[in-house]
Chains A and B, each alone.
Chain A
Amino acid sequence: MSAPLLTQRTEPADPLPPAGPSRSKRRGRAIWRHKTLYLMALPGIVYFLVFKYLPMGGLVIAFQDYMPFMGVTGSPWVGFDHFVRLFTEDTFFMLLRNTLVVSLLLLVFAFPIPIVLSLMLNEVRSRLFKRSLQSIVYLPHFMSWVIVVSLFYVLLTTDNGAINNLISRAGGDEIGFLTDPDWLRPMYVFQNVWKTAGWGTIVYLAALTAVDVSLYEAAELDGAGRWRQTWHITLPAIRPTIVVMFILAIGDFLELGFEHMFLLLNSLNREVAEIFDTYVYTAGIQNGQLSYATAVGMFKGLVGLLLVVIANRMAKKFGEEGVY
Chain B
Amino acid sequence: MTASTASSATKLTYRPDRLRKPSPGRRVFQVVNGVLLIGFALICLLPFLHVIGSSLANPGELATRAFVLIPRELTLDAYRYVLSTPTIFRAMGVSVFVTVVGTFLSLLVTSLMAYALGKRHLRGRRVINFLVVFTMLFSGGMIPLFIVVNGLGLLDSIWSLILPFTVNAFNFVIMRSFFQGIPDSLEEAARIDGCSELGVFVRIVLPLSVASIATIGLFYAVAYWNTYMWAILFINDSTLWPIQVLLRQIVIVASGLNADASVVEVVPPAQSVKMAVIAVATLPMLVVYPFIQRYFVKGALIGSVKG
Q: Looking at the complex, which of A20-28, A96-104, A290-298 is the stretch in contact with chain B? A: A290-298
Complex contact B144–A178 (CB within 8 A): no
Who on chain A is nearest to B298 by CB? A202
Complex contact A43–B113 (CB within 8 A): yes
Q: Is A314 an interface residue (CB 8 A)?
A: no
Q: Is A236 an interface residue (CB 8 A)?
A: no
Complex contact A154–B278 (CB within 8 A): yes
Select the residue from B40, B275, B292 with max chain A CB neighbours within 10 A: B40
For B206, the chain A residues whose CB sits under 8 A away are none
For B286, the chain A residues whose CB sits under 8 A away are 139
Interface size for B (C-beta < 8 A) is: 122
For A302, the chain B residues whose CB sits under 8 A away are 138
| Sampled A-B contacts (28; CB under 8 Å) | A40-B116, A45-B128, A55-B147, A58-B140, A58-B148, A120-B33, A120-B37, A133-B37, A139-B45, A142-B292, A151-B50, A153-B251, A157-B255, A216-B5, A259-B228, A262-B259, A263-B252, A265-B259, A266-B258, A281-B233, A284-B142, A285-B142, A290-B143, A293-B142, A294-B143, A298-B141, A301-B141, A308-B137
Q: Is A70 an interface residue (CB 8 A)?
A: no
Which chain B residues have a beta carbon within 8 Å of chain A's beta carbons?
1-6, 8-9, 12, 14-15, 18-20, 25-26, 29-30, 33-34, 36-38, 40-41, 43-45, 47-48, 50-51, 54, 62-63, 65-68, 108-110, 112-113, 115-117, 119, 121-124, 127-128, 131-133, 135-148, 150, 152, 163-167, 172, 196-198, 201, 222, 225-229, 233, 244-245, 247-248, 251-252, 255, 257-262, 271, 274-275, 278, 281-282, 285-286, 289-290, 292-293, 296-297, 300-301, 304-305, 307
Who on chain A is nearest to B231 by CB? A146
In the complex, the number of residue pairs spanning A and B with C-beta atoms less than 8 Å apart equals 321
For B163, the chain A residues whose CB sits under 8 A away are 47, 51
The verdict on A135 contacting B47 (CB below 8 Å), with A11-B123, A44-B110 known, is no
Determine the distance from Cα of A284 to Cα of B144 in the docked complex, in whole angstroms: 10
Complex contact A145–B62 (CB within 8 A): no
Complex contact B123–A34 (CB within 8 A): yes
- CB contacts under 8 Å to B, within A105-149, are 117, 120-125, 129, 132-133, 135-147, 149
For A285, the chain B residues whose CB sits under 8 A away are 142-143, 146, 233
Q: Is A280 an interface residue (CB 8 A)?
A: yes
Q: Is A159 an interface residue (CB 8 A)?
A: yes
Who on chain B is nearest to A283 by CB? B143
Determine the distance from Cα of A165 to Cα of B48 in the docked complex, in whole angstroms: 18
For B117, the chain A residues whose CB sits under 8 A away are 41
Determine the distance from Cα of A152 to Cα of B51 in the docked complex, in whole angstroms: 10
Complex contact B140–A56 (CB within 8 A): yes
Q: Is A187 an interface residue (CB 8 A)?
A: no
Question: Distance in Å from the Cβ of B163 to the closest Cβ of chain A?
Answer: 7
Who on chain A is nearest to B145 by CB? A55
Complex contact A226–B112 (CB within 8 A): no
Complex contact A44–B167 (CB within 8 A): yes
Question: Distance in Å from the Cβ of A84 to the closest Cβ of chain B?
Answer: 19
Complex contact A122–B142 (CB within 8 A): no
Determine the distance from Cα of A183 to Cα of B240 in the docked complex, in whole angstroms: 34
Determine the distance from Cα of A262 to Cα of B260 in the docked complex, in whole angstroms: 9
Question: Distance in Å from the Cβ of B120 to the closest Cβ of chain A?
Answer: 11
Complex contact A124–B34 (CB within 8 A): yes
Who on chain B is nearest to A297 by CB? B141
Complex contact A47–B63 (CB within 8 A): no
Q: Is A162 an interface residue (CB 8 A)?
A: yes
Complex contact B44–A136 (CB within 8 A): yes
CB 8 Å contact bits of A153-180 with B (1 = contact, 0 = none): 1110101101001100100000000110
Determine the distance from Cα of A197 to Cα of B257 in the docked complex, in whole angstroms: 28
